[in-house]
Chain A
């Protein structure tokens, strides 16, 4: 596929070339987009792991902006869609967090070789998965934005939002609260959440995913960014955990802004990458 060369005068942020394609993995086609670093050698390589379902849809423009901002700052970036979502093939109803972690690992392979440290940068679901794989040894640095406490906590939060929306629209079905949906899932049923069919496999697998906070003697740089009270309180070395105040609703929920005011989040995250991940060599082993 030819590279995309955008005119700088029409872009809100400096633009870097991008390429897109498919990676065959586990009998599905994983969609990836690669943003080429604006300088050589690159400062590092970043794998972006995004959020789930509706959160992906709402966050998309901001997530792409983050990818372009990283590339313009000298990082080689690859982002992708999990199987069963977005442009990747596969059935959502058959997928689970462990599958999506496998997808993340496979896509990281696209930038396994290259300049600088390999950074895992995740948002929400992607932050949870990235932290899990980082704990397992993948990557030289971790940057997790708003990770949920666990896979179950994330799914329960999405179920809560589904019920709240149904209540606002006067469509809540009698007797169908979160407990009912949980029992239904555990009994092998399917629950539709914003058009995505959740199944028992997703629900049960999510139980195995608890946020993996790096151990105290972790030598590789890591950071977790808390956006509000929904992100669990974690402790780490100085500068590893910080809070960001975002405009409500946050950019991964429905809202009226196409261009989100996230410059501070981007600047602080880039600053952390530069100071900790790149300057320190990213803890490359």
Chain B
């Protein structure tokens, strides 16, 4: 059963959808789940993925909420003209306060056991910043294809009264590990159809010699480190060897500093689907993995809060 809900944060309304468990399935012990906008996409997500996940988790006893942040979907509010401007804001955590307000609302009204927050790509970024900023209401994260890299400064609009970054000479791309990773991971169209095995081997070789690739979002890596410190259960879903997967793995390697991944972290790599999980079996894989992880991380009988990792992170924030 779905219903429309609305909350007002700092005077700006956010329209959302609430998935309630069927009668007899609701339990105050089960955490609520909050899904955020995947970039600028309406709250149902690509091919309605988050509406489907919401129905599935509600069937299993979770109250699920999905909100359009102001300006997106059905929520009124200002928007920049260009997508790059919006993304620049996402990548520095500009949407995290809206997410925290939604999590607070969900916990106070429907999910006293706390809230699992997340979503795809931009939503994963926002959820990470939110967890770092104030984890009071959060008990877990679902991060699909978190984006650990920054935009090319030359593609960003000029700040008020300033100038855009100068475009680099194309030849400088030969020295750019970002450009090489784009090319080798298939994010660049020019080499997509050619030599998949050679590309994969070259990517792995390049990654072995790199610490953090060029244009890594260091602020987000810091948020990732501090989130792992908190010991929140986290599910990460990526598409094997795509651009997001590569940056995620390098960021995580850096954060862990040679230690094994903590038991609170589960990383699943999907095969043969698209970044939005809409190609092939992507939707089915996302539904299955998220539902299974929720069941394992938050079993009906277990306490929901106070979980802490059995390891001490030693990695310092990136310079």
Interface residues of A (CB under 8 A from B): 1-2, 4-7, 10-12, 15, 18, 20-22, 29, 31, 33, 53-54, 57, 60-61, 64, 68, 84-87, 89, 92, 168-171, 192, 194-196, 256-259
Contacts and interface: CB of A to CB of B under 8 A. Distances in A.
B76 A61 contact: no
B291 interface: no
Nearest 9 A-B pairs (CB), nearest first?
A195-B47, A195-B278, A170-B193, A6-B76, A170-B192, A20-B4, A259-B81, A4-B13, A10-B78
22 contacts: A1-B6, A4-B15, A6-B13, A7-B12, A10-B78, A29-B2, A53-B47, A57-B41, A86-B42, A87-B44, A168-B192, A169-B186, A170-B194, A171-B279, A192-B278, A194-B47, A195-B46, A256-B83, A257-B81, A258-B83, A259-B79, A259-B80
A33 B42 contact: no
B184 to A, nearest CB: 13
A6 B5 CA distance: 16
Contacts of B46: 54, 57, 194-195
Contacts of B3: 22
Contact of B72 (A33, A54, A61, A194): A61
Contacts of A196: 47
Given A53-B47, A60-B73, A64-B74, A258 B82 contact: yes
Interface in B250-302: 276-280, 282-283
Contacts of B11: 7
Contacts of B13: 4-6
B197 interface: no
B71 to A, nearest CB: 8
Given A57-B42, A194-B47, A20 B15 contact: yes
B192 A195 contact: no
A6 B75 CA distance: 9
Interface string B64-75: 000000001111
A271 B83 CA distance: 30
Contacts of A89: 2, 55
- Could you tell me the dominant secondary structure of chain B's interface residues? loop
Contacts of B43: 87
Nearest to B272: A171
A15 B278 CA distance: 34
How many interface residues does chain B have, given as a range? 35 or more
A245 B18 CA distance: 40
Contacts of A2: 6
A84 B84 CA distance: 31
Contacts of A4: 6, 13, 15, 75-76
Nearest to A85: B48
B189 interface: yes
Most buried by B among A12, A64, A87, A256: A87
Given A64-B74, A87-B51, A92-B48, A22 B189 contact: no
Most buried by B among A20, A22, A29: A20
Contacts of B189: 168-169
A11 B12 CA distance: 11
Contacts of A15: 76
Contacts of B82: 256-258
A278 B273 CA distance: 49
Contacts of A10: 12, 77-78
Contacts of B79: 12, 61, 258-259
A194 B46 CA distance: 8
Contact of A195 (B42, B81, B277): B277
Contacts of B6: 1-2, 4, 20
B17 interface: yes
A257 B47 contact: no
A169 B5 CA distance: 39
A258 B81 contact: yes
A33 B283 CA distance: 27
Nearest to A171: B279
A84 B44 CA distance: 11
A20 B14 CA distance: 12
Nearest to A16: B76
Nearest to B11: A7
A61 to B, nearest CB: 7
B105 interface: no
Given A2-B6, A86-B44, A256-B83, A20 B186 contact: no
B49 interface: yes
